[in-house]
């Protein structure tokens, strides 16, 4: 037989596009339209509905960047259409190939009830079925003219102040039209079969069966009267669509989904409306499609519509109660997981899960993070401690170099906790049910023979409107179709339950899930990152001192303020805000938010401290760190011990020598550190002839994704900033030796203060940069005379080890990595810690010198200057603090990391303050001291083992307690745990490496009946 497959395939493409699809709407009449342009920010719905309108016609331009226009369309159903299904077609000027990144609309009825969203692939509004002749149609559209942000050239559209007012869009079709369901169904039949046919091998008979069936169907279509012949064409396809899938066919759990970035190429205020549009779409679709299940993550987005679109939220609540609209993920937002600190990562789950429990009575067991840029190794324990047990993500499939070996597996964190994890092999979190995607999922699945099901998040994301009726129709045809994987609608928990049950012994992946892409997000938008770090530590201080004042002085605890501030900080940890990959509007707003957060938290801290320590000035200083600081116990206020002598003198060959009896530092005439000598160990920290505190400038133009990516070739060129405009030394008022250095380069300047403090074991480096570069990358380098094949970087509730070498392609790919407060290098018996107050990105390299010894170099990443999506990224003044500590153990690194990030220099108070808890082992570190969120007055203590070894510690409360409970992160009692047992008046902890424990202590102020009687002490 002659092979005419290509002929039929090409015929199908043309006939579908040019004849059958247009016949879905065989008759139409124009709608009348009028418009009102809101003067500034979006207005309340009632105001938009009531505003006066001006006539506008299809083809007219509309929509200044970031503007809102209220469009009204009206008309009447022609008498001859009676009994038909009629829809309004409203095209705001969409490009159907850019779902989520352009104009959007939300349709309202005349009474203000929301109907559905308008998006590039979803431009219809059902008016009547069956229609009544002469029926009047009146619809209002809240239309957002969000600009398209181009990747190139750099654009000023990303900030409201610079976007201008030129109309962005041209109105398209505005019609009432008959909807022919039979033709629409024919389109779905032909698309499913045509896409399946393209994905099948050439040899099987099944492919030829499909070809011939399609040929017969196309022959049955009268191209001059498609609507009259659609049923006959469909009849030609019944048999081929009815053949069932093979029993061994891969099964795909389709989860209705719309990945909505909480901010990205639009500001937070626009996300409120994106969520309202999409959830309106999805609740309407759920009402029409009984098999469909839709899942939405991010409690903050539910909260958006609860506060700003209550009429939409009511529909969501009804759909949730029916079990069709599924809150998933249990986090406040889909946050970055590399950079948030320990408590912040925990609170993402606390606030997310608590919201879902309070609003819907739903407890999530899955973490849902499809788009996050890699996963820190401390996350599994946090997921488990929140009461969850599963994780879904997609993003690792984007890795550039190494293909991840599993799709379903156990992920083991730093403490040994294992989480059942799934990477959907469909390789997208915006599955559209295209045959190419479905076939790829089955072919790509790496766990064949051991597992048989995978998940596909299905729907257009961001402003795309979610799942469409076309996707649901195609899924129905692929539910049991020969040659195709089986597709069924499911919830995330439904999928995970089945996947876990069938895969009894999945493979294990240990350590971080590193994304081999988007490494620049650890550095871009430094002020956003600094605001996050400062806010996290101020929240720690506010909870600590407010709890202490509540217990000691009965000061009212600021529950509501702390709850609100935590949610604000968590919101800004979204995976395009904290990583610095959003438009200028988002990051300028974040800076303002962080400033307001700092002001409010500082006021809470200062009020509590003055209540605790008295109004008079005295010798006592508060220590918020989890370790004793200069004789002041952790969580206490007491007099600070003297730091001892300190001096600065001239260096023989130029520069200065700083000495405090513990460390001797030499700074040369260039302002570079050329010696850091550990006097206690009689050991030099720096390699011979090297210089630390070395600023290095690289060109930085990645191949794509400017704010996201750093490509390794940036290292091929470097400018070392060794020329100094001034190098001066002094003893400051705190008896510290200080060398001040000034430099200039390009259009920027930098000033540094190198400080050796009395009694300190390391050198502090304060760097102020006035940065005005473009496409440059600024690093701060510290070469170390140390031989180590691995080093430690702090992560949530512990640290992770990474190699200093690049033996494998996996190690080679980690050329930029994340740390929190410290990195630590060690040989047996001696180590070096480098700590910071606000930087995350770093790189480590090693070389062997002529003398045979190893130089290991750490470089902190300070600033970048990408032009997309914010052309002015990082321009302005920045302040960084780092410290180099020779002779440091891992415990010293932990202590120093807390000290550089927490405030210990507030004005002294008259009265000493006893800590709420004394812990007798510094390896057991306090993560939080606070009052219980339920308002009971109970005191919550969260600790973790920080050194990476077994630890025993006695926790002694400094207040009268009625007992304690072992709790999860949500402060709910758990079964008794052998790691926490009563001992005397305290609690004996026996912790595994990096183990996290939350304890809840009842106090005399605990209201009776608020919770079960505590177990443990008493």
List, by residue number, the catalytic residues.
371
Q: Sign of the CA dihedral 176, 181, 186, 187?
A: positive
**Is residue 204 a contact partner of residue 483, using CB atoms and an 8 Å limit?**
yes
Structure letter (DSSP) for residue 713: G
Give exposure, 324-346, as e/b (b: 16+ Cβ within 10 Å): bbbbbbbbbbbbbbbbbbbbbbb
Q: How far is CA 362 from CA 191, 320, 630, in A?
A: 38, 9, 48
Q: Give counts: helices (H), strands (E), the chain.
A: 19, 52
Measured between alpha carbons, how far is 213 from 15 in angstroms, rounded to an integer? 15
Cβ atoms 127, 121 nearer than 8 A: no
Residues 795 and 992: their CA atoms lie apart, in Å, by 17
Distance of CA 151 to the CA centre of its chain: 21
- Cα distance between residue 881 and residue 901, in whole Å: 9
Q: Summarize the chain as % helix, strand, coil (round to 5).
A: 25, 30, 40
Cα dihedral sign, 443-447-453-454: negative
Q: At what angle do helices 310-321 and 268-288 cross, to 10 degrees?
A: 40
Comparing CA positions, the residue from 285, 266, 203, 740 lying closest to residue 471 is 285
> How many CA atoms lie within 13 Å of 439's alpha carbon, on the beta-carbon side?
15
- Number of neighbouring beta carbons within 10 Å of residue 675: 18
User: How do beta strands 939-945 and 996-1003 pair?
Assistant: antiparallel
Q: Rounded CA gap, 393 and 404, in Å?
A: 12
Best CA proximity match to 175, nearest among 84, 73, 103: 73
3-state DSSP of 108-125? EECCCCEEEEEECCECEE
SS3 category, 294: strand
CB 676 within 8 A of CB 763: yes
Instruction: Please check whether residue 428 is in contact with residue 460, taking contact to mean a CB–CB distance below 8 angstroms.
Output: no
Q: Residues 6 or more apart from 267 whose CB is under 8 A from it? A: 66, 160, 583, 585, 586, 589
Question: What is the SS3 string spanning 43-58?
Answer: CCHHHHHHCCCEEECC
| Cα(211)–Cα(652) distance, integer angstroms | 88
- In angstroms, the CA 637 to CA 626 distance is 13
**CB proximity list for 376: less than 8 A, separation 6 or greater:** 337, 338, 345, 512, 795, 796, 800, 818
Give the span between the Cα atoms of 38 and 880, in whole angstroms: 43
> CA torsion angle for 571, 145, 100, 163 (degrees, to 10)?
-70
With residue 382 as reference, give the H or E element that holds it.
Answer: helix 379-385
Given a contact cutoff of 8 angstroms between Cβ atoms, the answer to whether 1011 and 934 are in contact is yes
CA distance 503 to 446: 13
């Amino acid at each position: 037989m002659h092979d005419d497959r290509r002929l039929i395939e090409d015929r199908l493409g043309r006939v579908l596009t040019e004849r059958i699809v247009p016949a879905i709407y065989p008759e139409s009449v124009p709608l009348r339209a009028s418009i009102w342009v809101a003067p500034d920010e979006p207005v309340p719905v009632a105001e938009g509905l009531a505003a006066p309108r001006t006539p506008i016609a299809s083809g007219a331009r509309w929509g200044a960047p970031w503007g809102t226009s209220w469009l009204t369309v009206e008309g009447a159903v022609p008498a001859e259409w009676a009994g038909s299904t009629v829809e309004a077609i409203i095209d705001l000027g969409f490009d159907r190939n850019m779902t989520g990144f352009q104009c959007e609309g939300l349709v309202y009825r005349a009474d203000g009830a929301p109907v559905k969203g308008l998006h590039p692939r979803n431009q219809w509004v059902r008016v009547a079925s069956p229609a009544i002749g002469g029926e009047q149609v009146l619809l209002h559209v809240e239309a957002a003219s969000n600009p398209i942000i181009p990747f190139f050239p750099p654009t000023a559209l990303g900030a409201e102040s610079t976007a201008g007012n030129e109309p962005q869009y041209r109105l398209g079709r505005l019609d009432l039209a008959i909807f022919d369901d039979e033709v629409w169904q024919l389109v779905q039949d032909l698309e499913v079969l045509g896409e399946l046919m393209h994905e099948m091998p050439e040899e099987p008979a099944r492919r030829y069966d499909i070809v011939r069936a399609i040929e017969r169907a196309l022959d049955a279509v009268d191209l001059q009267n498609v609507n009259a012949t659609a049923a006959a064409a469909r009849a030609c396809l019944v048999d081929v669509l009815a053949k069932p899938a093979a029993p061994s066919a891969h099964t795909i759990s389709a989860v209705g989904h719309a990945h909505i970035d909480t901010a990205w190429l639009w500001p937070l205020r626009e996300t409120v409306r994106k969520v309202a549009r999409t959830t309106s779409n999805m609740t309407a679709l759920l009402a029409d499609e009984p098999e469909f299940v839709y899942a939405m993550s991010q409690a903050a987005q539910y909260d958006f519509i609860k506060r700003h679109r209550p009429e939409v939220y009511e529909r969501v609540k009804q759909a949730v109660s029916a079990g069709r609209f599924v809150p998933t993920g249990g986090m406040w937002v889909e946050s970055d997981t590399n950079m948030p600190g320990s408590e912040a990562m925990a609170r993402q789950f606390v606030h997310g899960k608590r919201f879902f429990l309070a609003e819907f009575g739903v407890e999530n067991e899955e973490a849902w993070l499809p788009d996050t840029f890699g996963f820190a190794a401390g996350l599994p324990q946090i997921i488990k401690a929140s009461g969850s047990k599963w994780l879904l993500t997609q993003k690792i499939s984007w890795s550039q170099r190494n293909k991840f070996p599993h799709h379903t597996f156990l992920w083991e964190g730093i403490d040994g906790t294992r989480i059942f994890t799934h990477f959907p092999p469909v390789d997208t979190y915006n599955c559209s049910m295209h045959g190419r995607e479905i076939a790829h999922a089955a072919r790509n699945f790496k766990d064949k023979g051991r597992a048989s099901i995978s998940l596909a998040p299905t729907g257009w994301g961001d402003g795309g409107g979610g799942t469409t009726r076309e996707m649901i129709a195609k899924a129905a045809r692929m539910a049991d179709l020969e040659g195709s994987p089986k597709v069924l609608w499911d919830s995330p928990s439904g999928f995970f339950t089945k996947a876990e049950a069938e895969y009894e012994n999945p493979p294990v992946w240990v350590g971080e899930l590193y994304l081999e892409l988007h490494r620049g997000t650890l550095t871009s938008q430094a002020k956003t990152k600094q605001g996050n770090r400062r806010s996290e530590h101020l929240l720690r201080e506010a909870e600590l001192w407010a709890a202490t004042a509540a217990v000691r002085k009965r000061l009212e605890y600021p529950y509501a303020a702390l709850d609100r501030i935590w949610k604000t900080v968590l919101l800004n940890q979204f995976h395009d805000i904290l990583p610095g990959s959003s438009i200028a509007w988002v990051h300028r707003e974040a800076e303002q938010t962080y400033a307001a957060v700092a002001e409010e938290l500082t006021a809470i801290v200062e009020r509590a401290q003055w209540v605790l320590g008295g109004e008079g000035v005295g010798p006592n200083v508060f220590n918020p760190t989890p370790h004793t600081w200069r004789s002041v116990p952790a969580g206490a206020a007491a007099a600070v011990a003297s730091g001892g002598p300190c001096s600065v003198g001239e260096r023989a060959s130029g520069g200065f020598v700083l000495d405090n009896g513990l460390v001797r530092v030499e700074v040369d005439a260039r302002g570079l550190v050329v010696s850091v000598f550990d006097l206690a160990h009689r050991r030099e920290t720096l390699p011979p002839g090297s210089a630390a505190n070395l600023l290095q400038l690289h060109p930085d133009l990645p191949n794509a994704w400017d704010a996201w990516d750093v490509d390794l070739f940036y290292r091929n060129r470097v400018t070392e900033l060794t020329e100094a405009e001034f190098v001066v030394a002094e003893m400051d008022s705190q008896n510290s030796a200080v060398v001040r250095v000034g430099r200039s380069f390009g259009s920027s300047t930098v000033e540094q203060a190198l400080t050796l403090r009395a009694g300190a074991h390391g050198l502090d480096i304060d760097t102020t940069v006035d940065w005005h570069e473009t496409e440059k990358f600024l690093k701060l380098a510290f070469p170390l005379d140390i031989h180590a094949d691995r080093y430690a970087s702090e992560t949530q509730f512990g640290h992770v080890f990474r190699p200093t070498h690049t033996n494998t392609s996996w190690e080679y790919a980690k050329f930029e990595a994340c740390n929190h407060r410290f990195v630590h290098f060690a040989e047996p018996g001696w180590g070096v810690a480098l700590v910071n107050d606000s930087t995350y990105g770093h790189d480590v390299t090693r070389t062997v010198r002529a003398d045979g010894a190893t130089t290991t170099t750490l470089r902190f990443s300070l600033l970048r200057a990408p032009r997309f999506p914010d052309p002015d990224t990082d321009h302005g003044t920045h302040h960084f603090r780092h410290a180099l500590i020779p002779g440091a153990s891992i415990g010293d690194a932990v202590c120093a990391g807390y000290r550089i990030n927490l405030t210990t220099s507030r004005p002294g108070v008259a009265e000493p303050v006893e800590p709420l808890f004394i812990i007798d082992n510094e390896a057991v570190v306090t993560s939080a001291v606070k009052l219980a969120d339920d308002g009971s007055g109970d005191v919550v203590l969260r600790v973790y083992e920080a050194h990476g070894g077994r630890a025993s510690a006695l926790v002694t409360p400094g207040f009268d307690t009625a007992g304690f409970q072992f709790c999860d992160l949500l402060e709910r009692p758990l079964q008794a745990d052998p790691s926490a047992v009563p001992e005397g008046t305290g609690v004996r902890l026996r912790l595994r490496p990096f183990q996290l424990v939350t304890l809840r202590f009842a106090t005399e102020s605990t209201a009776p009946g608020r919770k079960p009687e505590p177990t443990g002490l008493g």
